[in-house]
């Protein structure tokens, strides 16, 4: 017999699977923030093994976003940007030994042109071995800021060559579909996002901090950058955070504005999942420290006044708050906007 209980609380829905997309660049002894030592990389991969953190392919994440196929909770996707030879000579043997799938983002302009760069033969070998090769544009420019004056028509043709041209060239060389783009330098705006979608990419990755889940925008997927100085403690903390979904952003994510706004506003879409009084905000142009950003517990609204004296350029914004059910767990949302007088 089935019992029906009236007047009970609404059942709590299960937490959506959360995914952390890691971003590496180079590996070795170079004293460069983007060059992770071989020993540290091996230690990080060993951590994932020992902690039994599931590492899944970018393809699995795309299917999760588009087809709603299930993923294990707190999964990890491995990405390596720029196409350095160390992706093949250093990272691949370690990842192969661990049984971890990974994606390499390359830009054709560099392939085979420099001693430190992968060649097309390298990439064909890796692709045959199951490595996913995707696009990092054609020449790795900051897509929102061309390095020479352009009118609107010239700019749009340039963007199409960077995005569609790179996709086409990689597909011609490797005879495999290219379905994902990593924005060079993590730079994008609303036009870049829309054009990426129109040109046939299924996903696009940023350098905005945070995790993703099934509610995330496939063309604004956050990543966790791993640097040479990233400690194992910081690395481990990446996998204990979850997305904080926001709406009604002002300025919007990827919006170009002519003047520095007086304030940044956002609305937390599920304010009951967090402790509103724990909200904090970090804006790169405002400083390196987190600042209080109280959230209205009823409406989810957050308002932050931007101090005077700001600069033009990219504004990378991160908003965090403690999870209500598990206060040791943080939820984070990240986005960007651009302050620039000239609009292309």
> pLDDT over 70 for what percent of the chain?
95
Which residue, chain included where needed, has tokens 């030994």?
A: 97
DSSP letter at 164? I
CB-based contacts of 66, cutoff 8 Å, min separation 6: 202, 218
The pLDDT score that the predictor gives to residue 4 is 36
User: What band does 310 get if pLDDT is binned at 50, 70 and 90?
Assistant: confident
CA dihedral 27, 318, 261, 190 (to 10 degrees): 60
The pLDDT score that the predictor gives to residue 314 is 94
For the chain, give the mean pLDDT: 94
Alpha-carbon Rg for the chain in angstroms? 21
User: What band does 342 get if pLDDT is binned at 50, 70 and 90?
Assistant: low
Distance CA 42, CA 9 (A): 47
Instruction: Measure CA 130 to chain center.
Output: 23
The pLDDT score that the predictor gives to residue 341 is 63
Examine residue 251 and say whether the peptide bond preceding it is cis (omega within 30 degrees of 0).
yes
Strand ranges (E), the chain: 19-24, 26-27, 35-36, 55-56, 75-81, 103-106, 132-135, 180-182, 203-205, 224-225, 242-243, 246-250, 256-257, 263-268, 280-283, 291-292, 301-305, 313-322, 330-339
Pair type for strands 224-225 and 19-24: parallel
User: What band does 120 get if pLDDT is binned at 50, 70 and 90?
Assistant: very high
The pLDDT score that the predictor gives to residue 7 is 41
The pLDDT score that the predictor gives to residue 343 is 58
* Contact between 166 and 138 (Cβ < 8 Å): yes
Phi, psi of 90 (to 5 degrees): -110, -60
Decide which of 35 and 309 is more confident.
Answer: 35
Mean pLDDT of 175-202: 98
Give tens-digit pLDDT for 239-290: 989 999 999 999 999 999 999 999 999 999 999 999 999 999 999 998 889 9
Instruction: Quickly list H helices, 80-119.
Output: 86, 92-98
* Contact between 316 and 253 (Cβ < 8 Å): no
Has residue 312 got a pLDDT over 70? yes
The pLDDT score that the predictor gives to residue 10 is 44
Domains of the chain and any CATH numbers: 19-241 (3.20.20.370), 246-339 (2.60.40.1220)
Give tens-digit pLDDT for 11-55: 445 678 899 999 999 999 999 999 999 999 999 999 999 999 999
């Amino acid at each position: 017999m089935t019992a029906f209980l009236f007047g009970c609380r609404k059942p709590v829905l299960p937490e959506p699977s959360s995914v952390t997309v890691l971003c590496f660049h180079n590996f070795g002894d170079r004293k460069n923030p983007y060059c992770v030592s071989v020993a540290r990389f091996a230690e990080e991969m060993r951590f994932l093994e020992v902690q039994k953190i599931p590492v899944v392919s970018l393809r699995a994440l795309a299917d999760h976003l588009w087809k709603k196929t299930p993923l294990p909770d707190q999964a990890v996707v491995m990405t390596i940007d720029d196409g350095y030879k160390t992706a093949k000579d250093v990272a691949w043997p370690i990842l192969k030994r661990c049984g971890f799938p990974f994606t390499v983002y390359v830009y054709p302009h560099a392939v085979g042109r420099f001693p430190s760069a992968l060649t097309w033969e390298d990439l064909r070998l890796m692709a045959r071995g199951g490595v996913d090769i995707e696009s990092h544009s054609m020449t790795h420019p900051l897509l929102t800021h061309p390095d020479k004056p352009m009118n609107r028509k010239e700019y749009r043709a340039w963007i199409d060559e960077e995005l569609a041209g790179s996709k086409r060239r990689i597909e011609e060389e490797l005879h495999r579909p290219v379905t994902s783009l990593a924005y060079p330098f993590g730079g994008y705006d609303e036009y870049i996002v829309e054009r990426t979608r129109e040109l046939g990419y299924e996903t696009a990755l940023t350098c905005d901090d945070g995790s993703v889940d099934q509610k995330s925008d496939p063309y604004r997927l956050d990543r966790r950058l791993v640097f040479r100085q990233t400690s194992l403690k910081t690395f481990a903390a990446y996998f204990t955070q979850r997305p904080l979904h926001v709406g009604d952003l002002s300025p919007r994510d990827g919006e170009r504005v002519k003047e520095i706004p007086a304030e940044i506003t956002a609305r937390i879409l599920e304010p009951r999942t967090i402790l509103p009084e724990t909200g904090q905000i970090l804006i790169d142009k405002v400083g390196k420290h987190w600042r209080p950003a109280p959230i209205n517990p009823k409406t989810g609204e957050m308002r932050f006044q931007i101090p005077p004296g700001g600069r033009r350029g990219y504004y990378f914004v991160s908003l965090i708050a403690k999870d209500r059910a598990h206060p040791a767990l943080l939820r984070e949302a990240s986005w960007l906007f651009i302050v620039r007088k000239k609009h292309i």
